A and B are shown apart, each in its own frame.
Chain A
Amino acid sequence: MVGPLARRPLLAGALGLPWLAPAAGRAQGIEAADTPRRAERWRDLKEAIFDGRPTEPAGDALTLVAPSRALDAAAVPISLSLSAEAAPRVRAIHLVIDENPSPVAAVFRAGPAGDLRALSARVRVDAYTWMHAVAETADGRLLETAQFVKAAGGCSAPVGTDLRAARERMGRMRMALPEGPPAGPERAVPVQVAVSHPNTSGLQIDQLSRLNIPAEFVRALRVLYRGAEVLRVECDISIAENPTFGFALAGEAGGELRVEAEDNRDRRFASAWTVGASG
């Protein structure tokens, strides 16, 4: 509370955190007193997730877009994009929500028939947090970028729908092609797939038992086109109810798009659609 404006530059400078420039920090509304703690948390997380391998700033190669102030902490839309140069080289992108109870929200892995040039997801955000994305290239480099997000309570937010109804609908899937079917190997189009699943975080409370609702969440999702894997997502309770992912799909129209999902109770769900030029 005391003199936050006077103290922030001093701390950022002393700790050698050029990426936490004071002006940027102020613009994003980050509390000065928390800055060193947040930086330390990310260093610890990085150490644990990547076994101490060094990361480098992603620059233009990887962009993470998230709202600076989320409209709904239980479903914060985020998107990840790779530059044209980086897209063929990146094999995986890790999405980390530093302050969440389970920080690694998702790992996206490119299949032989796809790349990670344009991804989207909806995540839960439990407290004001840095959100980090780290792209892993085929030659083992780790490219890091970050965005500060103001949102709170997303992990323990009440289940959006009637849990019983949500369970009955569990496994139903949706697929959307907002720009139509793909038009060849060079013409990727956006695809969105969603699995109806309560994706309970284990941090929500059941009214009758007064106990937390056990965590039941989609832990893996796989997308195949014409039988070849396009994308694999390993995910966790930080993904919002009804896990919804976007990606880019290239290839000739008319093939079968298949989505397979698996939750932590070993339930398996699958749906397939023909992505035809004629619908």
Chain B
Amino acid sequence: MAPSAGRRSALLGLGGALLAAAAPAETPTQVAPGVFVLPGVHEDASPTNGNAIANIGFVVGGASVAVVDPGGSLAHGRRLRRAVEAATPLPIRHLVLTHAHPDHVMGAAAFADLRPEVIGHARLPEALAQRRDGYLRMLEREMGPAAAAGSDALPPTRLVEDRLDLDLGGGRVLAISAHGPAHTDADLSLFDPATSTLWLSDLLFVERIPSLDGSLAGWLRELAALRDRPAAARAVPGHGPPAVPWPAAAAALAGYLEALRNGTRAAIASGLGIAEAPARVATAEAARWRLAENYHGRNVSTAYRELEWE
């Protein structure tokens, strides 16, 4: 039994890499001219998925390429880099980290040798400083030490306080916005006027249950402002299909967040405790989403702690 357990874990490590390499998301989807998305799977980090669970991708300009989220692991980042190299000979000069979560940033190490500028929200350095060690441990635990090895974020070199126009040459200028606390407290979105594409990353969840790690009231506010954004025709969600019609695709997320807010407020008002609320609040709305069992309870707990001091 003992030797076979050891051998099994070694095989699992290898199998993870092989399975990941064979996954359909090896090839990115071009959702608009020059805008590529490598879709993630609706799972949590595991040895077989290599933490390739988020939508990541890149935008090709006339002179350079901007990678938007380098992925959840070194292997995921390398896969994205191969996809860029297959799509264009232009250099990767910019790495945009849309927020601090590990499924979006831990593949950055795959781009370190290119020395790209690393763009993040003004609060991203703090978030990464506080969480990086925990994320590294989480990847080791969930993927296995061999598959997790080498994965890491890169420290931001250019911070966005409010807005940043990122010129990729050839007339392609990405408008990057820093948001108030919403999905997390360091969310960026990008707008590509050339194709009317709004890259929302985890400010938009489709199919997979949203995870709340910033501010519920803030997320609803930012979402309302984004829905009113003129000229956006499609959005790239952080989880879900590579692209979805905008603003129509915001409705399900807004519905969930409103149910979470209203249900949590009602729980607090009725004296239902924080230990009991997660199993009772907005469970019907949560059941419509994938992986609700892994995230909804925590969303209620986070919402509860925010709203009880309203």
Interface residues of A (CB under 8 A from B): 1-6, 65, 67, 71-72, 75, 77, 79, 120, 122, 152-153, 156-158, 160-162, 169, 172, 174, 176-179, 192, 194, 196, 204-207, 210, 241-242, 244, 246
Contact = CB atoms under 8 A, between A and B. Distances in A.
B271 interface: yes
A1 B144 CA distance: 11
Interface stretch (B20-28, B55-63, B125-133, B190-198): B125-133
Contact of B130 (A71, A161, A194, A204): A204
Nearest to B6: A2
A169 B5 contact: no
Contact of B1 (A6, A152, A169, A206): A6
A1 B123 contact: no
B301 A75 contact: yes
Contacts of B273: 77, 120, 178, 192, 246
B308 A174 contact: yes
Contacts of A153: 131, 134
A38 B92 CA distance: 48
Contacts of B123: 207
B275 interface: yes
Given A2-B6, A160-B305, 16 more contacts: A1-B9, A2-B5, A65-B275, A71-B300, A72-B302, A77-B274, A152-B137, A156-B134, A158-B126, A160-B302, A174-B309, A178-B270, A178-B273, A207-B123, A241-B305, A242-B309
Contacts of A169: 309
Contacts of B134: 152-153, 156
Contacts, number: 80
Is the contact region of chain A dominated by helix, strand, or loop, or is it mixed?
A: loop
B275 A156 contact: no
Is the contact region of chain B dominated by helix, strand, or loop, or is it mixed?
A: helix
Given A3-B1, A3-B2, A179-B271, A72 B129 contact: no
Contact of A242 (B1, B137, B275, B305): B305
Given A71-B278, A207-B125, A158 B130 contact: yes
B129 A6 contact: no
B14 to A, nearest CB: 16
B221 to A, nearest CB: 15
A256 B243 CA distance: 59
Contacts of A178: 270-273
B13 to A, nearest CB: 12
B297 interface: yes
B131 A158 contact: yes
A210 B298 contact: no
Which 8 residue pairs across A and B have the least CB separation, nearest first?
A178-B271, A207-B126, A77-B275, A3-B2, A71-B298, A153-B134, A71-B301, A71-B297
Nearest to A241: B305
A122 B277 CA distance: 14
A204 B131 CA distance: 10
A71 B281 CA distance: 14
17 contacts: A1-B6, A3-B5, A4-B5, A72-B305, A75-B301, A77-B274, A122-B274, A152-B134, A158-B131, A158-B185, A160-B305, A161-B306, A174-B308, A178-B271, A179-B271, A205-B129, A241-B305
A67 B275 contact: yes
A75 B274 contact: yes
Contacts of A241: 305
Contact of B275 (A79, A176, A179, A196): A79
Nearest to A69: B297
B43 to A, nearest CB: 18
A77 B301 CA distance: 10
A154 B297 CA distance: 17
Contacts of A162: 181
A72 B298 contact: yes
Interface in B269-310: 270-275, 278, 297-298, 300-302, 305-306, 308-309
Contacts of A161: 306
B47 to A, nearest CB: 13
Contact of A6 (B2, B302, B309): B2
A196 B309 contact: yes
Give the interface centre of B300, B302, B306 by most chain A CB atoms within 10 Å: B302
